[in-house]
Every structure is written in structure tokens, then in C-alpha cells.
Amino acid sequence: MEKTRTKKLFIFFNPAAGHEKKVDLFENRIREWGKNNGWRIDIHRTHKNEDLKKALRQRQKDGIDVIGVAGGDGTVSEVISAMAGIDLPLLIIPAGTGNIFARNFYIPFNLEKCLSLLNEGSEVGFVDLMLVNGSYRMLNAGAGFNARLMISTTRDEKQKLGFLAYLKNIGKSLKRTHQVEFVLTIDGKEERIVGADVFIPNAGFGMHSWIEENLLNPNDGVISAFVTRPSDVQSFFRILWDAIKGKSRGVEVISRFEFKDELLVESDRPLPAQSDGEPIGTTPLRIKVVPSSLKLIIPVRESPLAGFESINKYFSRILNLPILEEQTSLKIPKRIFSDQNRK
Ligand SMILES: [Mg+2]
């Protein structure tokens, strides 16, 4: 009988955040896991401004079964862009502070547990992406306040503080935010609306709040756009709070729209724009829904490998506080990857 071929995992690894010793140790753990679990693993350290698509095309000739990415959301975003047109599943190995995208899918943060998804307890989910001004993006896009906030928060701050890094810069970004008239063309239908911010999330913040459970499903072929007008820090938090509680309309939450095909965001004067936290110039912003276009390896609901990090634990870790005991009864909600959306 023919011997089963050893499968091959090709990993893009962004070592930027770690110290040399830690980086080597991390790679050794990956290789060790591969040796013991029947995977041939090739690790490619990424560097700044590298053409990842070219690197991927070259390695593809040796036959890759799964593409891996070890890094934070920025690296994941770059790899997803490079994967356009390449029909292989992706394994995200969280190695950043935030890793918001991975949190959406309960991908374990423990390295060995995460690698184990290659052999057990996982399925391939089909995840929607957005084509934002021509680039594939996974998390969100926006113009106005959110773009100012994300652009003013440095990579260094994000690596140190994660989500909290943004809180630090809210006041500063709001000061420079003004109201404009937005013209939104939503699946061909035009809406005019005055606001200071338009935010288009494809996925949640990995905190599993009401809004994420109900409005930000990255597997339904629908993307929401929120137009708000935060005027000061208090009103920003009011908007956030209303959204988390499920109120879709308050004084400062002006509107939510949904689109299935394309959203064009124009404004009467140019506003800074971002996608996946990176600056992408100014408005207009054209976002196309690319449904079920990423094959992502995720834990199945019942899997003990599924990683769940509560908000408490997350903040405790960032703030270096003692971590409270986790409830043992946390359940993975049913919402992601309903059968009807499977290909
Ligand atoms: Mg969706």
C-alpha cells in the first residue's frame, strides 16, 4: 500500500515583536510539533515591505497543503492579501497582542493547541472578505474618526497595549474630527447623511458582545456600515455602549446600513481612510463583499481546543494583573458557520 504523503505547512512568521531568543524558541516549538505529528513545516520569516505573494508562489511549487501565518492582525491581513487567487486553507497562529481576527473564531492562543487543529478538532470555515479600494481585507475599513484613531496609534503602542492602545488616542483623534456630508451608495442605492465617522466592520473585535453575535457575522455574505457622529470622548463611549447593548439608534448613532455587493463612501471633503488599521489615503472608499473567499481552519464548536479568552482575562493580561479563574462552562456560540452558508 502506498505510504500516506507527509503534509506540508508553509508558515509566514513575523518575528518583529519578539526577542531573538524567544523567536528561535517559538520556531523550535513549531518544528518539534511538526516532527511529532506528521507535518513537514517550512517557516519563512517575513521582513518589511516584502512581496509575500512572490514568496508564496515560489513555495507553492514544492506543494503546500496549508498556509500558516504567525503574527498579529497586520501580518494576517498581509498574508490574506497575498493569498488572493490561491485556493489553500489558512491556519492563523496568534503571535501578536490583539489578534482580533483569530478571537472571532476561537482560535487557540496556545501554540501547540493551535497547531493541533491541523490534525483534529477543526473544520474549514468559509469566511467573507472585503475588497477595499482593490485590496483584500478581513477586519474593517472606515473613514473619518476611526481612521484618524487607527492611524495615530502606532504599531509599537498596539504591540504593547493591544486594544487599549486605541483608548489612549481617542481624545486626540476626536479633536480633529469634523462633520461632513457622506454620500453612501449602498448596493446601487444612494443615501446622503451627515456624520463624522463611517465604520465598516467585516468581523467583530473578538469580544463576543451582542453586536458581534448579531451584526458582525463574517460568514453571512452581508456587511454592515455604521455612520456615527462622536463629538467627545463621552459620546464615543455612549455610542460604543449603545452598540454593545444592542441599541441600533441613539442620538449619536445615526444609522446602520447593510450591503451584499458594494458600498461606495464619498464625502463632501476628503477624509482619512483606513482598512485593517492601515492608512489607505482619503475618501472615496469602495468596498466590495467577497463572500466565502477565505478558507480558514477553525476549531469545531465541541472541540476542547477552542480558545476562549474572556474580556476579563484579556485586560488582566494586558494590564499585568492576576488572571481570574475562567468559568469552565463557557460555550462556543452557534452563530459562526451555519450550514446554509457552507459551500
Ligand atoms: Mg457579515
Q: Are 35 and 74 contained in the same domain?
A: yes
pLDDT in tens, 81-138: 999 989 999 999 998 777 889 988 889 889 999 999 999 989 898 999 999 999 999 9
Listed range (86-95, 213-222, 223-232) with the worst mean pLDDT: 213-222
Strand runs (DSSP E) across the chain, as ranges? 7-13, 39-45, 66-71, 90-94, 122-132, 135-137, 140-144, 180-186, 189-195, 197-201, 223-228, 253-259, 262-267, 272-275, 278-282, 285-299
pLDDT at 175: 82
Ligand 1 centroid – CA 217 distance (Å):
4
Listed range (56-65, 234-243, 295-304, 309-318) with the worst mean pLDDT: 309-318
Q: Are 221 and 140 contained in the same domain?
A: yes
pLDDT at 267: 96
User: Is 318 part of a structural domain of the chain?
Assistant: no
Ligand 1 centroid – CA 218 distance (Å):
4
Average pLDDT over residues 16-29: 85
Average pLDDT over residues 308-332: 49
> In the predicted model, what is the mean pLDDT of the chain?
83
Ligand 1 centroid – CA 49 distance (Å):
30
Residue 341 reports pLDDT greater than 80: no
Q: What is the pTM of this model?
A: 0.83
Ligand 1 centroid – CA 263 distance (Å):
13
Ligand 1 centroid – CA 267 distance (Å):
24
Ligand 1 centroid – CA 107 distance (Å):
19
pLDDT in tens, 124-161: 989 999 999 999 999 999 999 999 998 888 877 877 77
Kindly report the CATH number assigned to the domain that includes residue 273. Answer: 2.60.200.40
- Local confidence band at 313 (pLDDT 50, 70, 90 cut-offs): low
Residue labelled with grid coordinates 517575513? 46
Q: Are 256 and 139 contained in the same domain?
A: yes
Ligand 1 centroid – CA 6 distance (Å):
36
Residue 323 reports pLDDT greater than 70: no
Ligand 1 centroid – CA 290 distance (Å):
10
- Local confidence band at 315 (pLDDT 50, 70, 90 cut-offs): low
Ligand 1 centroid – CA 265 distance (Å):
18
Average pLDDT over residues 239-267: 78
The C-alpha atoms of residue 269 and residue 282 are separated, in whole angstroms, by 9
Residue 328 reports pLDDT greater than 60: no
Residue 335 reports pLDDT greater than 70: no
Listed range (2-16, 175-189, 273-287, 311-325) with the worst mean pLDDT: 311-325
Q: Which three cell numbers stand for residue 162?
A: 493591544
Q: Are 68 and 181 contained in the same domain?
A: no
Q: Are 103 and 20 contained in the same domain?
A: yes
Q: Are 334 and 286 contained in the same domain?
A: no
Ligand 1 centroid – CA 105 distance (Å):
13
Q: Are 152 and 90 contained in the same domain?
A: no
Q: Are 276 and 302 contained in the same domain?
A: no
Kindly report the CATH number assigned to the domain that includes residue 82. Answer: 3.40.50.10330
Phi then psi for residue 59, to 5 deg, are -70, -25
Average pLDDT over residues 157-179: 79
pLDDT at 329: 36
- Helix, strand, coil percentages for the chain (3-state, nearest 5): 30, 30, 40
Q: Cis (ω within 30 of 0) for the bond into 284?
A: yes
Q: Are 272 and 182 contained in the same domain?
A: yes
Neighbours of ion ligand 1 (CB under 5 A): 217, 220, 222
How many structural domains is the chain composed of? 2
Host domain of residue 258: 135-290
pLDDT at 283: 97
Q: Are 42 and 66 contained in the same domain?
A: yes
Q: Are 88 and 153 contained in the same domain?
A: no
Radius of gyration of the chain (CA): 20
